[in-house]
């Protein structure tokens, strides 16, 4: 589900070239997806989702460009994004976009999560390539659900099994007034 942001008509000053730049009013649609992630990582050669990647303002502006699904957006338009719209974009990126929660965290944590790792997981679980345009957090949740469903169910230990049957026996003895 894309987000639509509004860029007001703006006048910017380019100090390097000593000129004014005029940005026209425009609405653009953005999509936080595996496609966006892959485009950005191909350019910057660092993992976007890693907490260890220190993203500069230029890198974030470029990620917004990679998220853009509106055609023919002038490059200077991204410099004119108002703070309120920028915050909406950050909130959109962080939104889980699902009601699903997973309580067990059996999947081993990866310090480096890249687009290729996510594509691998999609292939591993047989997730169609069309899902690469889903909101990235929804796609990651789907992958987690697939992993949970495929994981072997935890079996009880011998001690847990014995305790369970002792409790059942005690309940049955009480229920039927028996000693055996």
Question: What is the per-residue pLDDT for 123?
Answer: 95
Query: Which pTM was predicted?
Result: 0.77
Residue 178: pLDDT band (50, 70, 90) is confident
Residue from 59, 54, 55, 6 nearest 30 by CA: 6
Rounded (to 5) percent helix, strand, coil in the chain = 50, 10, 40
In a domain, 86, yes or no: yes
Could you tell me which residues come within 8 angstroms of residue 93 by beta carbon, excluding any fewer than 6 positions away?
32, 136
In a domain, 68, yes or no: yes
16 alpha-carbon distance from chain centroid = 36
Question: What is the per-residue pLDDT for 104?
Answer: 63
In a domain, 166, yes or no: no
In a domain, 23, yes or no: yes
Residue 102: pLDDT band (50, 70, 90) is confident
In a domain, 180, yes or no: no
Spatial distance between the Cα atoms of 84 and 66, rounded to a whole number of angstroms? 20
Residue 155, pLDDT > 60, answer yes
8-12, 19-23, 163-167: range with lowest mean pLDDT: 163-167
Question: What is the per-residue pLDDT for 8?
Answer: 95
Residue 103: pLDDT band (50, 70, 90) is confident
pLDDT digit string, tens, across residues 59-89: 999 999 999 999 999 999 999 999 999 999 9
**Beta bridge mates, 27:** 6
More confident residue, 124 or 167: 124
More confident residue, 160 or 45: 45
Lookup: tokens for 73: 């957006």
Residue 68 is classified by DSSP as B
Number of folded domains that form the chain:
1
Residue 88: domain span? 3-94
Question: What is the per-residue pLDDT for 70?
Answer: 96
In a domain, 148, yes or no: no
In a domain, 141, yes or no: no
In a domain, 174, yes or no: no
Question: What is the per-residue pLDDT for 126?
Answer: 94
């Amino acid at each position: 589900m894309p987000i639509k942001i509004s860029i007001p008509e703006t006048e910017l000053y380019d100090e390097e070239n000593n000129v004014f730049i005029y940005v026209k009013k425009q609405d653009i649609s953005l999509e936080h997806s595996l496609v966006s992630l892959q485009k950005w990582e191909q350019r910057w050669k660092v993992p976007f989702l890693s907490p260890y990647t220190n993203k500069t303002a230029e890198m974030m502006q470029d990620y917004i460009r990679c998220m853009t699904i509106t055609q023919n957006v002038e490059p200077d338009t991204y410099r004119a994004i108002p703070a309120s719209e920028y915050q909406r974009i950050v909130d959109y990126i962080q939104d889980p976009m699902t009601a699903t929660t997973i309580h067990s965290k059996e999947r081993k944590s990866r310090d480096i999560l890249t687009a290729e790792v996510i594509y691998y997981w999609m292939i591993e679980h047989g997730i169609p390539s069309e899902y690469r345009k889903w909101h990235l957090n929804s796609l990651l949740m789907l992958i987690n659900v697939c992993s949970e469903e495929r994981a072997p169910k935890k079996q009880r230990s011998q001690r847990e099994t014995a305790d369970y049957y002792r409790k059942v026996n005690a309940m049955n003895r009480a229920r039927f007034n028996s000693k055996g």
